[in-house]
Amino acid sequence: MAGPKQSGTTRRRSSERPGPGLDEALRAIGTGAYVVDENGRIVAVNSHALELLACRAEDLLGRDAHDLLHRDAHGQSMPAARCGMRQQFHAARTAQGEQEYFARGDGTVLPISWLITPYDTGGREPGTLVLFHAPRTEEEAEPPSRSAPRKLSELERLALLAETTTRLTSTLDVEEALRRLAALVVPRLADWAVVDLITERGEVSRTAVVHAEGGTLVYREDLQGPMPPIPQESPLPLSRALRGAASTVAGPQTYRREPDSGIAVEQRRLFEATGIRSAAIVPIRSTRRVLGALTLGRAEVPGDFTPADLPLIEDIARRTGLALDNALLYQRQRKVAETTQNHLLPQMPRVPGLQMAVRYLPAPDASHVGGDWYDAFSLSDGTTALAVGDVVGHDLEAAAGMAQLRNMLRAYAWALREPPSGIVDRLDEALQHITDVTMATLVFARIEEAGQGHWKLSWSNAGHPPPLLVSHDGLAEYLTDGHGLLLGTGVRVPRTDGTVLLPPGSTLLLYTDGLIEQPGHSLDEGLSRLRRHAAALVRRPLASFSDQLLHRVRPAANDDDVALLALRTPLRTGP
């Protein structure tokens, strides 16, 4: 295994490639570290490990860690049944040990202390993080103080920081990130955790006050809520942390003096209500600004915080700040996109005798906006137009294309007294010349009264899933006539129309493919699922029908947005 050392972090190429945060997490660890997959094979390693083991990355990656590294004191291979690290790996829990030995590339054995912990690699399967180092001699070791709390070992500190990075950066939800933060530090470092965040308007909110009670975390909502403004001159710890000035160790006595601000009053109330006798208060910063402050408090945990504890807590707060900044930016983007989508999707017209309900659900992992759309509007001849379509993409560009397509469809449908196939054909012809849309699917329909309680529907389908018609008695059929090529292919073929009479009390459903498509399942399965549930729900009020249909039919693994338009004809009550 001998060879030149490598800097940074190296990963094995594989189909189960770990997430992008793994490199940074291992690079930031100041001791030997590697990650193994669910089978115990090494998938990533940092430069400290390569230096300690005197080997190259290619000698480690893809190899079984136990077979390659684990040895007894004489350098002999060790059966897995006798290896404590291997047993803890199979138990999938955090553990540590001493007086173990690793094989080095130069043929010698390295005495090590180790810590392993389950680790989210960002792939589909969980991994395990292994931290190791050559322990100090007895002369170098510091005797523990009986009066002080148990200090985290260097490996435990590094494992905590690595876990903080991977857990906080793997979510883009602020509340979830704060829950994960609380679970990381309580009760490991303290029995109270308090997070104060600064809003974009400069206001302060006490977002989380968390206490460890037994094995559970309890949120003290009575201590959470809005806070007074940040004083610009106060020397007290929380005020300074919220200004990004300094980290401080504090206690109840800090706030027993005459309060100099409303924040000082709230801090006194916090200490009195929680019984915290010692606290570490540090700023939460992003690369752009101060986001708030983290307070860790000890009421029952033995020992008080000292200035020596602050660097670790500052490092945790710094990683928290980066994760929160990403989450806040993402939420801001989603809010902008949601507002855009709400303005792009139209209000439904009132058509005497008809009920209509519409729903739009965004793709869960996209920008909360996409190319799926619905529309309904009155035409110049007194009929009503209905449309549901899907422009390729799940971003603002797709939403802009959707708006172009919808507006063009409205203009053609209003100006041209042609059947739906003629309108769709005109739209397809103009698509590539005056829009940014490359490809789209569409169902465009007209509906009008036909007498004796019936309504006439005519439609043309451009590569879209077929409309579903469900009678009041639960008979469901897909309307497959009028089907043609999707928009944007450049192929000119005649388009056709379908026509059907909608019986009294029937429900028509137009929808996009996100409602029925599911990875690993055929389209026929999705269509069958939709038909079955629509028939079962057809007697429900139309709003409830639409909501329950989305809840029951939309696949849990769906990564697409969904648009749905449901229409119901009046149920004839007379003879």
| Six token digits for residue 569 | 């004809």
Please check whether residues 64 and 134 belong to one and the same domain.
Answer: yes
* Whole-angstrom distance, CA of residue 123 vs CA of residue 17: 6
Question: Which pLDDT value is given to residue 257?
Answer: 85
DSSP code at position 325: H
Please check whether residues 402 and 548 belong to one and the same domain.
Answer: yes
Q: What is the 3 state secondary structure string of 245-279?
A: CCCEEECHHHHCCCCCCHHHHHHHHHHHHHCCCEE
Question: Which pLDDT value is given to residue 147?
Answer: 38
Please check whether residues 330 and 349 belong to one and the same domain.
Answer: no
Residue 105's contacts (CB-CB under 8 Å, 6 or more residues apart) are 1, 2, 3, 53, 54, 55, 56, 59
Q: Which helix (H) or strand (E) holds 174?
A: helix 174-185
The residue ranges of the chain whose pLDDT is under 70 are 1-24, 121-125, 135-150, 333-345, 363-370, 393-396, 399, 557-559, 573-575
Q: How does pLDDT run across 84-96, given as a tens digit for each residue?
A: 888 888 887 788 8
Please check whether residues 488 and 554 belong to one and the same domain.
Answer: yes
**What is the domain extent for residue 472?**
345-568
Of 280, 304, 334, the position where a domain reaches its end is 334
Which single residue is written with the structure tokens 């148990």?
150
Question: Which pLDDT value is given to residue 500?
Answer: 97
Q: What is the pTM for the complete model shown?
A: 0.51
Please check whether residues 360 and 487 belong to one and the same domain.
Answer: yes
Number of domains in the chain: 3
Question: Which pLDDT value is given to residue 401?
Answer: 78
Question: Which pLDDT value is given to residue 123?
Answer: 63
Pair 182, 196: CB distance under 8 Å: no
**Is 164 inside a domain boundary?**
no
25: region left, alpha or beta (phi > 0 left; psi from -120 to 50 alpha): alpha
- 3 state SS of 340: helix
Question: Which pLDDT value is given to residue 144?
Answer: 41
**Is 99 inside a domain boundary?**
yes
CATH number at residue 471: 3.60.40.10
**Is 574 inside a domain boundary?**
no
**Is 339 inside a domain boundary?**
no
Please check whether residues 319 and 377 belong to one and the same domain.
Answer: no
Please check whether residues 177 and 300 belong to one and the same domain.
Answer: yes
Please check whether residues 543 and 395 belong to one and the same domain.
Answer: yes
**Is 340 inside a domain boundary?**
no
Q: How does pLDDT run across 178-223, given as a tens digit for each residue?
A: 999 999 999 889 999 999 999 888 999 999 999 988 778 999 999 9
Of 334, 362, 379, the position where a domain reaches its end is 334
**Is 475 inside a domain boundary?**
yes
Q: Which ranges constitute the DSSP H helices of 74-171?
A: 84-91, 154-168
Burial letters 457-486, b for 16+ CB under 10 A, else e: bbbbbbbbbbbbbbbbeeebeebeebbbbb
Pair 328, 522: CB distance under 8 Å: no
Please check whether residues 312 and 195 belong to one and the same domain.
Answer: yes
Please check whether residues 272 and 351 belong to one and the same domain.
Answer: no
**Is 244 inside a domain boundary?**
yes
**Is 74 inside a domain boundary?**
yes
**CA atoms within a 13 Å half-sphere pointing along the CA-CB vector of 199:** 11
Question: Which pLDDT value is given to residue 95?
Answer: 81
The Cα-based distances of 536 to 74, 372, 530, 533, 539 in angstroms read 72, 26, 10, 5, 8
CATH number at residue 64: 3.30.450.20
